[in-house]
């Protein structure tokens, strides 16, 4: 059951500032050059499955300037921004993680901060989720690429299965871990394999992510789904079915 709901700042999932909208002909390499950052780091902070595949209309989150304060370390800043040390080193062209001093100007991944487009929510089971705008965008892109042609309730159900996997001990406990999981040599979601995950999400997908985060679970606790007309995977066909919505069969 949904036990609590906390929203920090405006209830908006699309980053409104410090983003770049991809134009026809642009690549992540050219965008990185334009803003003077590493294209590898830019790919990482935007959760791009394949940095060679981006589409016009994609929102690329840009790193933010930050002034180093007394007591700051790259390790602490990486933890605060929910990223890793290597990304901070790449963003700032640093070879030594100890090369910090108060007043120094550096770049950090987009902030998770009140008053911006960030959100913190509670879901089924009382688990709190705190996702960066880039993670919400990745989540919506998955829903869009998997369920754009499905009824809205089916889109919410797809989003709910991702959260159910995060809650399940059988799957990774992070959003990116679930979406990019490779099990026995197979991607869990075909859009990650073929690059459709990088297609811009429509508003319906963002709305579905929002409703799933608020606790709506039309999948009835499912941790996966499949289209019977498009899969030959016998394992999924043997799993207990929770419900059928549109073209998707949901299973636990």
Query: For residue 251, which phi and psi values (nearest 5 degrees)?
Result: -135, 160
Residue 230: Cβ within 10 Å count: 9
Average pLDDT over residues 189-207: 92
Residue 33 in any domain: the answer is no
> CATH no. for residue 159?
1.10.10.2520
Residue 156 in any domain: the answer is yes
What's the pTM value of the predicted model, to 2 decimals? Answer: 0.63
Residue 229 in any domain: the answer is yes
Are 219 and 160 in contact, with CB atoms under 8 Å apart?
Answer: yes
**Residue 3 confidence (pLDDT) above 70:** no
Q: What would the pLDDT profile of 216-246 be if each residue is shown by its tens digit?
A: 899 999 999 999 888 878 888 889 999 999 9
Query: Of 48, 103, 107, nearest to 70 (Cα)?
Result: 103
Residue 115: Cβ within 10 Å count: 9
For residue 12, what pLDDT is reported?
32
Q: What would the pLDDT profile of 102-140 be if each residue is shown by its tens digit?
A: 999 999 987 643 333 344 444 444 556 778 778 888 999
Residue 202 in any domain: the answer is yes
Residue 34 in any domain: the answer is no
d(CA 82, CA 79): 5
Residue 167 in any domain: the answer is yes
Q: How many domains is the chain partitioned into structurally?
A: 1
Domain that holds residue 160: 146-251
Residue 221 in any domain: the answer is yes
Residue 235 in any domain: the answer is yes
Q: What would the pLDDT profile of 30-39 be if each residue is shown by its tens digit?
A: 999 999 998 8
Which residue reads 């941790």 in tokens? 223
């Amino acid at each position: 059951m949904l036990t609590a709901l906390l929203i920090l700042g405006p209830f908006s999932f699309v980053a409104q500032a410090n983003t770049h909208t991809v134009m026809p002909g642009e690549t992540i390499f050219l965008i990185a050059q334009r803003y003077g950052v590493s294209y590898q780091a830019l790919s990482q902070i935007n959760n791009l499955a394949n940095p060679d595949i981006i589409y016009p209309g994609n929102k690329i989150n840009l790193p933010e300037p930050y002034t180093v304060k007394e007591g700051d370390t790259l390790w602490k800043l990486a933890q605060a921004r929910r990223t890793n040390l290597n990304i901070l080193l790449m963003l700032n062209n640093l070879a030594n993680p100890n090369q910090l001093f108060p007043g120094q100007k550096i770049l950090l991944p987009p902030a998770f901060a009140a008053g911006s487009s960030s959100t913190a929510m509670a879901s089924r089971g009382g688990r709190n989720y705190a996702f960066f705008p880039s993670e919400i965008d990745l989540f919506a892109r998955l829903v869009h690429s998997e369920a754009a042609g499905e009824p809205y309730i089916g889109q919410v159900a797809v989003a709910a299965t991702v959260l159910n996997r995060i809650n399940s001990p059988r799957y990774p406990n992070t959003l990116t871990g679930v979406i990019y999981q490779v099990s026995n040599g197979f991607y869990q979601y075909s859009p990650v394999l073929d690059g459709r995950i990088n297609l811009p999400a429509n508003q319906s997908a963002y709305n579905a992510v929002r409703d799933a985060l608020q606790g709506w679970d039309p999948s009835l606790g499912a941790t996966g789904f499949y289209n019977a007309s498009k899969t030959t995977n016998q394992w999924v066909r043997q799993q207990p079915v929770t419900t059928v919505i549109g073209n998707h069969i949901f299973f636990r």
